[in-house]
Amino acid sequence: MTSQVDVMSKFQAEQDTRKARRIDRHTVSAIAVFVLCVVLILASRLVSPSLGSWQQVLTVLTLASFLVVLSFGQGLVILTGGLDLSLPAVITLGGVLTTTWIGNGPGAWYMLPFVLAICGGVGLASAIGIVWLKVPPFIMTMATSIIVSSAALGLTNGTPRGASPDVLLLLMKGSWLGIPAPVYFLVIFAVVGWIVQSRTVFGRYLYALGTNRDAARIAGVPITLVSVLPYVISAVCAGFVGMMLVGYANGATLRMGDNYMLPSIAAVVIGGSSILGGNGNFAGTVGGAILLTTVGTVIAAIGLEQGLRTIIEGGIILVALLLLREELFERLRGLSGKPRSGG
Amino acid sequence: MQEPVSGPAVPVGAGEVALSIEAIRKAYGATVAVEKAAMTLMAGEVHALLGENGAGKSTLVKILSGVVRPDAGGMVLKGRPYAPTSISAARAEGVATAFQELSLLPNLSVAENLLLPRLPKGVAGMTSAAGTWQAGAEILARYGLDHIDPGAALESLPLADRQRVEIVRAFVNARHVLVLDEPTAALADTQWLFDHVRAATAKGMAVLYISHRLSEVRALCSRATVLRNGRSIATVELSAATDGDIFEMMVGRRGHAARRAATSTAATLNAPVVLSVSGMAGDTLKDVSFELRKGEILGIAALEGQGQRELFRTLAGLRQPASGTISVDGVAQALRGPSHALRVGGGIAYLPEERKTEGILSGLSAASNIVLPILPSVSKAGLVSGRNERAASEEHAQRVEMSQRYLSFPIGDLSGGNQQKALLARVMATGAQTLLLFDPTRGVDVGTKQSIYAAISNFAEQGGSVLFYSSELPEIVQLAHRCMVLYGGRIFSEFTGEDIDEQALVAALIGHGGAERRASAGVH
Amino acid sequence: MASLTHSTPHRMRRAQPMKLLTSGAGIVFVLYVLLYAIYASLQPSALSSSTFTNLVNNSVPLAIAAAGETLVVLSRGFDLSVAGVISLTNVLMAVYPQEGPFGALVSLAICLAVGGIVGAVNGWLVAILRLQAIAATLATMIVCQGLALVILDAPGGMVADWVSYELTDRLFGVLPISGLFVLAVVLAWLVFKRTNLGLGLYAVGADEQAASLSGISVIKVRFAAFVGAGMIYGLAGFMLSAQTATGNPNSGTPFLMLAFAAVALGGTSLSGGRGGLIGSILGAATLMLLQKVLFSGGVSSFYTGIFQGVVLVLAIVFGSAFARLTGRRTTA
Amino acid sequence: MKRSMFMLATAMMAATFGSGMVSQPAHAQDGKKFKIYLSLSYSGNSWQSEAANIVKALAATPPYNDMVELTEVISGTDPQAQISAYESMIEAGADGIVSFPISSTALNRTIKRGCEAGVLFFMYDATVTQPCAYNVSYITSGFGENSAQALVNELGGKGKIFLSRGVPGNSVDKRHTDGALSIFKKYPGIEIAAEYYSYWDDRTTQQETAKALVAHPDVDGIWAQAGEYGAIQALLDKGGKLVPMTGENSNGFRLALADPAMQEKGLRGVSAGSPPAQSGYAFKLMMEILTKKRELAATNIEYPLPWVPADKVKICKGEKFEDGCNAFADGVVPSSFVTEVLDPVLLPELSIQSALNGTPVEGATIQALPAEVKQAPNEPDINCQGCEPPADLYHLTKIEPTVQP
């Protein structure tokens, strides 16, 4: 009988000429974001003749490196269906601890990992609240954020001291072959991040968890570990962004993370991930981060009053979102979102 | 039972065409779901819609219910053109559907679900809570479901009751045409449904009945339309068609009568015990003890809610028993969770009850779904190797006779049958020596069923042990070496080998065999 | 027949008070009363009507903003435009003051209209064009803040005296008038909840697909949620203007995170379908009260945040533990 | 289990309330201690914390250490929170509130209520328009126009410049920028190539300047508010060429101005702007009124504008401003440290340690302030409402134009 059923399925396969959809939506979406970046950079020549240059690309990439690292962690958390609001506070914590504990003295090689471990501990604390105490991620990370900022404030007595360790200065200020070091770093980080998210067992588990927690559990995914790790990684990334900012500006302030909250989420979402978790691609997120930074450089060059520039900034983001709409790709490719419950 | 069960009286308006559809076509982008589908429903008739998974049945149902609009073709309802633009429009014309994937809201009450989208109004045009409760209670009573509290949150109901609510809602909204898409998937007992379907047809309702259970179809329907690859192949009088004929129309070639798989019963009786449960109790379970041996297929037969769900979930590590011990390969174990269950002894893998909510990971490819539990083994240094993943998923897909071309598609886009095959492939891929299969053929078509049976038999022949529950008795009769009947949370009786007989099982299912009513699962 | 299918015991309708107590709103109400008791024991003047009025006045803008956010959250969305709408309506109130009670009415209408328009844009983007709510409303928030800056590029302007005095006063010397606005929102919500649209909100939030198969127009419900939310933000901007009596183009920014915190504290699930607006209002009031309690408790300034964070988490943990203890998840 | 969790939490609450994190208000037995509150916006940058620290140091300096019970409250950037804090302070029976107001207008109603309850309000740096409050601020002293003129002089009246502003929608930022624009507008040769917001933060300034430099690599000068040190860094990142620029009082900027290597690269300019010392001055004024040593009705008081061109930068040897020095050596303080926190005349009691840690100087006692205070001119929406500004609002006080338009 087995052989006969085999024959039957072959038969069926040959007869059924209707096609199903391939999974390449996220690749397309990531490519589209990058195309949009390029278009925006080229179009910015209209704003100022010095724009649209290789120099602009390098500046954008340098400035985007912070957001890329940050939104990697945020992206992992979002992938599992959570949200990390503690990033700005942890950036500050990482930066402040780096300058006050390490400064430009010796011991960076073991102290930097130690500071990152402390940041990871903050992420672990959030994760414990979320996974075991069942506090919604939004509230838990908001609470850790308030607590960590408060602690950083108390710790520094309001004035962060010290300067950047040399190794961070090298990372953020060095250059090779005329290209700033952070650009190399960004490329390497993007590749590694993409591999971690899309090609590792851990990454696959995250997708499983974000798609359907119960199913993932039944399928034997170690869900506790997989739920906790994204928050830890996210906090470590934020702590590292704090260090990068320290290297970039050779010092720390208590507000250094403030402007990164919404961009870290926006980069992930513009990159094609769903805020509800379970899908997305780090390549898209990298594109989203670069796109947001590009918008910033273009906006900075427009000679209008701040209010109007703000309106234009919102408008560009909106247009980008509309252009990156899933339906639009589908229509372009003559494919469409097939309803979930197959025919 | 308030409604009188109608006899074979002549239905009201019999012979009148209720709904006819012609040359319907629907494509999603490049994917053609339905092409040249045609069918005529007579008033007072129960008309079956048959076809393999993926033949286009669900799309046709959606077109009839106003969820999607056809690209071409037309429909005529009671002599007037029918082109609903929404569910509500379809209802307004008297067409209502009970969907396969239940369309109920877990956070609302039963009454609210029944009356959506418009609730009874009270003071100043506001919806009235009392009125809603009252109206819900009346509807439930009318359909013999007064054990369901209309004020209860839907999510607190067992799956079967949720399915009943879904069906009742369709009954309430249907005037001319009632569409029932796999209405018995979660119902072990179909008599209730049949009675009400007959009562409705007696009043002139046309019912389109979609089910993979041919026995049900034969018990209820007079004619059947067969869909294959999106086209309607033929409409036949069921009394004039053999199962073989229908099977041939559905899949395009002749099928075979099911064979008796369990031939090696005697051999398994003395095989070593791999899983032993003693004195397990908790929630609905009371003192459940049994042993599962190497190479054995142990069937569980039960009406719904007799503790089978708790039993399976406890063995999968998803819940803790209040008392009793579980021994795997002779060692007592406290199962901490599914991933732990997979690791103890030879391993225990669980195929869950609800495919949509506990089984598939809809955005991921079928291949990724299959290899999920064994990801580390298809990886090098934590990196998933695409080649290994493909190889492993192909290997296991083959065990369940799943076509390889589906492996790269998101599993959510596949038909229910292929999803189920992939999930079975997943539990087999774990390498676990014991499989817990909870209703492994729920809502799948005949061809897929045969593939699943074969896979289960092969697994046991190679020394694996299987504990499976099925809502269809013939399945148990066909597959199991041994069968236990759960009743009221206890093992009520046990049958071995040739003694597994539908009649005997039916008697045991309802306790003591003294029941006047047949448990109709699969009986015709 | 039924004898065979008796899988669940007959469930009685639960007594109303129990249900209230275990709902998100009930728990946060208990929390509020507890905190108020602590506050009153630390600061005896807490029980005076003027102190209470000040507290209410202080809490009202956030409470109303959180109420609006609840509508969107219930439908399983995020609305960041709350910050933009409040800033925008606030500068409008300060730059174009309308004197007298009739003027106040005109101002109110303008605020509601502005909020409604922004909400409609959000609704169009999210419900019809199907953009992700968090991203779309981020963009509208930025645009609104830009508009606010165009209208007023630095804090200033004067809100009409009638608005700023009458609306922060007390009725009969006891009832804070601003509280009546919250009451009006609550009443409107209670009515809305008992419309088909209101039920649709819960349905769409729980399962969009099932809601649509149940005959609910998902687009309509989503759209209505955003429009309603926008109008309520407009009211929040109106009340904020009454309280501060002046315009500030950044006045909405602090409301962004606080509104979400209030919603979550009030027991509304951020994944939609569960909770209610009253809980959010009480949640907002609790957040504001917490500041008072910490102040009167003499908590050293650097560490106030640690207390706020810990209390926020504890409130949620106890809330859910209490709800589990009483054995029922909440639906309203 | 639930019960024990609750008890645990209660115990935790009790423990923390009773622990050292809580500054128990020490109720003076004789009831003569003045209840003073220090209400901050956000203690997140050097400027804010220095300003707060010197008030703490002064309150701990004899004889005030026995007369003052000082409580610090941080309200973040939310005016609502500060309103709530003021209300709590009034209820708690405050004698005086020294505050950095988050909004120039939103607090007015509460302040009025406080005044009626007999509370003295002293605002430093930022101002409020409520007439019953005292504003102690340099804001009217013409930072914008003077620094703009200095930049114009350096550029010889023409060139492409950036405006590195503060916080969008902020009244202080607007006052500075309006003042600066009043000068720039006179010179058609001056082209404002880019205008961006630095949020008065080094890092943000650095990033925003970097962005602006992409479009305009040929910039000739930068007019910056606080955060100016970030602008220098951005120029250095770009390849070393510096341009004339003006900025506020960070130690890093002052050292850079005086650094021959930096001057070599083209850095010239002037350091001016907001001095944290205003808070100390405000506090001392308030204490003199409370102790009846001075009679002064509520008014707007102008704090003199610090003005240090490159050639006037002088590095201090000790921890105080002595012998006309006005900056500290690298390593003594962070580069973001705002130097103008000390003042040899108004605040001789303090040293760097007071500014960094809030500790009083050993042996120092409070010295009386000069009798005369300088009345600030009216500026609508800044320190008064519905008032008329003087005709010469933006007249230059520190510098003369060396180039004609």
Pick the CATH number of B17-93+174-251 from 3.40.50.2000, 3.60.9.10, 3.40.50.300, 3.50.50.60: 3.40.50.300
Residues of chain B with pLDDT under 50: 1-9, 255-259, 261-262, 513-524
pLDDT at position C21 is: 54
Chains contacting B (3 or more CB pairs within 8 Å): A, C
**Which member of C149, C261, C305 has the closest CB to residue A139?**
C261
Interface subset of C 10-69, CB within 8 angstroms of A: none
Count of Cβ atoms closer than 10 Å to residue D397 Cβ: 11
Orientation angle between helical segments C255-265 and A137-156, nearest 10 degrees: 130
Terminal Cα-to-Cα distance of chain D (whole angstroms): 80
Q: What is the pLDDT of residue A24?
A: 60
Which positions in chain A touch D356 (Cβ < 8 Å)? 157, 159
Domain range for A259? 51-301
**Residue ranges per structural domain of chain B:** 17-93+174-251, 265-347+432-509
| Pick from B475, B476, B369: nearest CA to B426 | B369
Domain ranges, ordered by start, for chain C = 50-286, 297-327
Q: Residue B338 is which amino acid?
A: P
Which residues in chain D (219-248) have CB-CB distances under 8 A to chain A? Answer: 230, 233, 237
Please indicate whether the domains covering B17-93+174-251 and B265-347+432-509 agree at the CATH topology level: yes
Chain C closest-CA separation from residue B457 CA (Å): 32
Which strand (E) or helix (H) includes residue A282? helix A282-301
Contact of D137 with D252, CB cutoff 8 Å: no
Contact state of C143 with A315 under an 8 Å Cβ cutoff: yes
Residue B415 touches partner A, C-beta closer than 8 Å: yes
Interface of A with B in 239-298 (CB under 8 A): 278-279
The H-assigned helical ranges of B252-317 are 265-269, 308-315
Tell me what the mean pLDDT of segment C23-44 comes to: 85
Is D172 in contact with D139 (CB distance < 8 Å)? Answer: yes
For chain A, say whether C206 makes contact (Cβ under 8 Å).
no
Chains that touch D (3 or more CB pairs under 8 A): A, C
For chain B, the distance separating the N- and C-terminal CA atoms, rounded to the nearest angstrom, is 22
In chain B, residues with a C-beta closer than 8 Å to the C-beta of C215 are 86-88, 91, 116-117
D232-250: b or e for each residue (b if 16 or more CB lie within 10 Å)? Answer: bbbbbbbeeebbbbbbbbb
Inform me whether the pLDDT recorded for C18 exceeds 60.
no
B328 vs B348: CA distance, rounded Å = 9
| pLDDT above 70: percentage of residues in chain D | 91
C216/B158 CB distance under 8 A: no
pLDDT of residue B11: 53
Give 3-state DSSP helix, strand, coil % of chain A, rounded to 5.
Answer: 75, 0, 25
Mark yes or no for CB contact D108/C245 under 8 Å.
yes
Cβ atoms of residues D137 and D126 within 8 Å: yes
Is B346 in contact with B398 (CB distance < 8 Å)? no
User: What pLDDT sits at residue B366?
Assistant: 87
User: Across residues D130-145, what is the average pLDDT?
Assistant: 90
Domains of chain D: 30-138+275-306+340-374 (3.40.50.2300), 142-272 (3.40.50.2300)
Q: What is the pTM of this model?
A: 0.82
Closest by Cβ to A342, choosing from B230, B414, B430: B414
Residue of B nearest to C15 (CA): B151
Domain count, chain A: 1
Band (D1; pLDDT cuts 50, 70, 90): very low
Helix, strand, coil abundance in chain C, percent, nearest 5: 75, 0, 25
Q: Do C154 and D381 touch (CB under 8 A)?
A: yes
- From the list C129, C140, C269, the residue facing A325 with the nearest CB is C129
Return the residue of C nearest to D108 by Cα. C244
Average pLDDT, chain A: 81
Query: Three-state SS for B286?
Result: strand
Q: How far is B434 from chain A (nearest CA, A)?
A: 14
Instruction: Supply the pLDDT for residue C326.
Output: 60
Report the amino acid identity of residue B506.
V
Contact A216, A208 (CB under 8 A): yes
Chain B contact present for A78, CB below 8 A: no
CB-based touch A/C (3+ pairs, under 8 A): yes
ipTM of the complex as predicted? 0.79
The residue among A96, A159, A168 with the most chain D CBs within 10 A of its CB, best to mutate, is A159
Neighbours of chain C (3+ CB pairs under 8 A): A, B, D
Chain D from 136 to 195: CB within 8 A of any A CB:
168, 192-195
What is the fold of B265-347+432-509? Rossmann fold (3.40.50)
Report the pLDDT value the prediction gives residue C185, as an integer from 0 to 100. 94
Contact B65/B179 with Cβ under 8 angstroms? yes
In tens, the pLDDT along D39-79 reads 987 656 778 888 989 999 999 998 898 899 998 888 877 78
Q: Which of A63, A158, A306 sits opposite D197 (nearest CB)?
A: A306
Question: Predicted confidence band at D115 (pLDDT cuts at 50, 70, 90)?
Answer: very high
Flag residues of chain A having pLDDT under 70.
Answer: 1-25, 158, 326-343
B257 touches chain A (CB under 8 A): no
| Nearest alpha carbon to residue A249 among D165, D269, D261, D45 | D45
What 3-state class would DSSP assign to D187? coil
Looking at the predicted structure, is the pLDDT value of residue C290 above 50? yes
Both structure tokens of B380:
């090098």
Query: What are the residues whose beta carbons fall under 8 Å from the beta carbon of C80, sequence distance 6 or more?
Result: A262, C134, C137, C138, C140, C141, C256
Under an 8 A CB cutoff, do C215 and B86 touch?
yes
User: Quick check: is A136 in a domain?
Assistant: yes
pLDDT of residue B265: 60
Distance CA B412, CA B369 (A): 10
Q: What is the mean pLDDT of chain C?
A: 84
* pLDDT surpasses 50 at D247: yes
Using one digit for the tens of pLDDT, what is the confidence trace for D268-313? 899 988 899 999 999 999 999 998 888 888 889 999 888 888 888 8
> Domain holding A262: CATH number?
1.10.3470
Give the DSSP H or E segment for D92: none
Question: Which pLDDT band, with edges at 50, 70 and 90, does C226 fall under?
Answer: very high
Mean pLDDT (whole number) for D134-163: 91
D20 pLDDT higher than 50: no
Question: D91 to chain C: nearest residue by CA?
Answer: C45
Give a yes or no: residue A178 inside a domain: yes
Q: How high does pLDDT run on average in chain D?
A: 84
Q: Decide if A249 touches D, using CB distance below 8 A.
A: yes
Q: What angle do CA B375, B380, B386 make, to 5 degrees?
A: 65
Mutate to test the interface with B, among A18, A23, A226 (most CBs of B within 10 A): A18
Query: What Å distances lie between residue A267 and A69, B460, C78, CA to CA?
Result: 11, 51, 16
Q: Which chain A residues are within 8 Å of C144, Cβ to Cβ?
A: 314
Output the pLDDT for position A121: 94
Å between A17 CA and nearest CA of chain B: 8
Q: Residues C103-124: what's their mean pLDDT?
A: 95
